[in-house]
Amino acid sequence: MDDFARRFSMRSARLAWLLGAGCSAAAGIPTAWDLIWRFKQELYISKRRIPRSSVEDIRNPSVQRSIQSFIDSLENFPQPDAPDEYAALFEAAYPSEVDRRTFLDTWIRGGKPSYGHVALATLMKADRARCVWTTNFDAVVADACATVFGGTGHLATASLDAPGLAEEIINGDMWPAEIKLHGDFRSRRLKNSSEELRTQDSRLRHQLVTSSRRSGLVVAGYSGRDDSVMDALEEVLEGPTPFPGGLFWLHRDGSAPLPRVARLLTRAASAKVDGGLVVIESFDEAMQDLVRQVSGIDTTALDAFARARSVVSDAPRPRGDRDFPALRLNAIHVSQTPSVCRVVDCGIGGHAEVRKAVEDAGADILATRVKAGVLAFGLEDEIRRVLAPFGIKAVDVHALDERRFWKDTMERGLLRDALARALAQTHDLTVNRRRNEVLLAPRDPDDKRWAPLQAIVGRLSGTSPSHPDLVWREGISMRLDWVAGRVWMITDPRMVFDHIPPSARAAAADLGRERTVRRYNKVLSDLISFWASMLSSNGDPIRAFGGGADVDAVFRLGTRSAFSRRARE
């Protein structure tokens, strides 16, 4: 994802987007998978004449097995995951097209733009995302644009019933634009549609092919089940200039792409098309990474949206088995953060130059660059020594307001580095920095303090059988986040490698999977408990410089990890 984000920042204006149902899931709109099981459930209830309550929990594996076994017995439906499974089940559950439209309108009406949609609209306003193709028929992209642009009318829209308008939009550079590929096909299969609709579908897909030979394409939230769309993408590769800006397929981690998607990307690679599969956590998080990477855009509306859409609230402390948390979370509350640091007004450049100056001087300080100046923790004499060559104008105290940490800024990054140093100093850990997270591991895994950790996972260090120079230790990654008006330390138990040579990256990934793949609920819960107890130091203050600095970074951590519980109606 970080590789794609850098490429995107350089060529965003030459990349169109193709959005599928997965992008609308965070907006409260069900995905095709959700609806397929809903249709199966309706058929099961009506044909078996059983109460809905008996199969209400549609995500329960035992319920799914019962329903699927019944659907299989009917012998007139496509196999699970077949491209036409959705349409066949939809028509069987609701034979009338009027009923199908009513059903979809009911589900779509409650959809609201997610962070990812507003981030995309922010990029569209900055001319960093011009054209959005979509197989969806909801209005969340248009709603997001209305939020960001401050009104309607800024987004050009075309759909299946007006393929000529799509041609005018593309040929006339009427950006930003959203082009809906499915339109009236939302409630019927193509083979059941009129010749006029099939012709209009062909014209619209032709525009997708033509457009994709002029620009690149980013695909998000789309599984590749629709033959008509996949046919169009494959047709692009048959031309002389397929996807000149690249073809990037954003895919959620945890499952393999469908075979047809894999074949498309393989063919694209053979045709020397830049790009490939981009593994992401979610559409919202991917868009956050892109907005963070692209410079010079106005994020005012996006920032306001992020603050207003918090859906997390405090859960009461559990009392007995009846209130047992539904989920154990890997977040530890940072109950105390530093209130001040040094700020130095001088002529040094950006953060990279500050970091290099600290390294060149061999100084024992933590520093970063913000608009107000250089922020730093450590001895004032050391700070002055590092920055003296850059013409110090003033040294003052800078207030660190915790309420500003809701956004991932250089200030929050300084706080993360200070907390990592405090943890390392207190618990004898090594520190390795990777982008916006820090990797911590025991300096001496044989120290008796780590015996409880060894009892959970076994060996705490070792080397790769295939790469003896690939040394690993059991540890965690750590980053900071802002949720429900508070700062949290997010920990992820994992293997930490001292150094990964380029030739050993695959071996490191395989070794990491092999060691962690069977860490199920109990092991993960025990790991979270261990690290939460160890790192919190019983709630006592932990210091980045052990008290030996003019302005030290002092923290306190909660002694238990966060949790969720079932909401009561």
| Percent of the chain residues past pLDDT 70, beyond the cut | 92
Rounded (10°) CA dihedral 294, 299, 301, 305: 80
pLDDT, average across residues 377-383: 93
What pLDDT score does 569 carry? 38
Best CA proximity match to 364, nearest among 418, 411, 413, 429? 418
pLDDT tens by residue, 527-538 = 999 999 999 998
Residue type, 145: C
Scan for tokens 């907006």, then name that residue: 27
Q: What are phi and psi of 220, to 5 degrees?
A: -140, 135
Residue type, 341: C
pLDDT tens by residue, 201-243 = 778 888 999 999 999 999 999 888 777 889 999 999 998 999 9
b/e sequence 236-252, b meaning 16+ C-beta within 10 Å = bbeeeebbebbbbbbbe
Strand-pair category, 542-543 with 554-564: antiparallel
What pLDDT score does 194 carry? 46
pLDDT, average across residues 367-384: 93
Q: Do 317 and 558 contact (CB within 8 A), yes or no?
A: no
Angle at 63 between CA 61 and CA 68, to 5 degrees: 90
Peptide bond into 176 cis (omega under 30): yes
For residue 401, give every residue at least 6 positions away whose Cβ sits within 8 Å of its Cβ, in sequence order, or none.
none
What pLDDT score does 99 carry? 84
Write out the H or E segment, with its range, that includes residue 180.
Answer: strand 177-180
What pLDDT score does 334 carry? 94
CA distances 391 to 15, 349, 364, 369, Å, are 44, 12, 20, 15
pLDDT tens by residue, 428-483 = 999 998 766 799 999 999 999 999 999 999 999 998 888 888 889 999 999 998 88
Say yes or no to pLDDT of 118 above 90.
Answer: yes
pLDDT, average across residues 539-555: 87
- Architecture in CATH of 2-27+112-306: 3-Layer(aba) Sandwich (3.40)
- Residue 204 neighbours by CB distance under 10 Å: 27
What pLDDT score does 83 carry? 66
Say yes or no to pLDDT of 249 above 90.
Answer: yes
| Percent of the chain residues past pLDDT 90, beyond the cut | 49
Between 231 and 192, residue with greater pLDDT: 231
What pLDDT score does 105 carry? 75
CA distances 328 to 181, 345, 564, Å, are 41, 44, 7
What pLDDT score does 193 carry? 43
What pLDDT score does 567 carry? 56
What pLDDT score does 187 carry? 45
pLDDT tens by residue, 352-361 = 999 999 999 9
**pLDDT class of 273 with cuts at 50, 70, 90:** very high
Strand-pair category, 247-252 with 275-280: parallel
What pLDDT score does 536 carry? 92
Instruction: Say how many Å lie between the first and final Cα of the chain, rounded.
Output: 39
Return the minimum-mean-pLDDT range out of 196-205, 341-350, 369-378, 381-390. 196-205
Angle at 18 between CA 148 and CA 202, to 5 degrees: 125
The domain ranges of the chain are: 2-27+112-306, 32-109, 315-339+401-569, 342-399
How far apart are alpha carbons 345 and 376 in whole angstroms? Answer: 12
What pLDDT score does 11 carry? 93
- Identify the DSSP state of 72: H
How far apart are alpha carbons 5 and 1 in whole angstroms? Answer: 6
**pLDDT class of 41 with cuts at 50, 70, 90:** very high
- Which stretches does DSSP call E strand in 356-485? 366-370, 373-377, 394-399, 429-434, 437-442, 461-463, 471-483
Write out the H or E segment, with its range, that includes residue 489.
Answer: strand 486-497
CA distances 551 to 306, 354, 387, 411, 417, Å, are 32, 18, 17, 15, 15
pLDDT tens by residue, 50-80 = 888 888 877 777 888 889 999 999 878 888 8
pLDDT, average across residues 506-511: 84
What pLDDT score does 124 carry? 96
- Locate all alpha helices (DSSP H) within 299-409, ordered by sequence: 300-308, 351-361, 380-387
Structure tokens at 160: 């299946």
Say what angle helices 259-270 and 227-236 make with each other, to 10 degrees.
Answer: 10
Say yes or no to pLDDT of 163 above 50.
Answer: yes
Estimate to the nearest angstrom the gap between the alpha carbon of 479 and the chain centroid: 15
Average pLDDT, the chain: 86
- Identify the DSSP state of 221: S
Which of left, alpha, beta for 537 (phi over 0: left; psi -120 to 50: alpha)? left
Structure tokens at 152: 């309607």
Write out the H or E segment, with its range, that includes residue 57.
Answer: none
Sign of the Cα pseudo-torsion (274, 229, 263, 255, in order): positive
Q: Do 418 and 368 contact (CB within 8 A), yes or no?
A: no
pLDDT, average across residues 499-506: 82
What pLDDT score does 25 carry? 77
CA distances 453 to 58, 330, 473, Å, are 38, 16, 12
Report the predicted TM-score, pTM, of the whole model to 2 decimal places.
0.58
Return the minimum-mean-pLDDT range out of 106-115, 144-153, 307-316. 307-316
Q: Residue 83 class from Cβ within 10 Å (0-12 exposed, 13-18 middle, 19+ buried)?
A: middle
Write out the H or E segment, with its range, that includes residue 543.
Answer: strand 542-543
Q: Do 208 and 178 contact (CB within 8 A), yes or no?
A: no
What pLDDT score does 217 carry? 97
Say yes or no to pLDDT of 200 above 60.
Answer: no
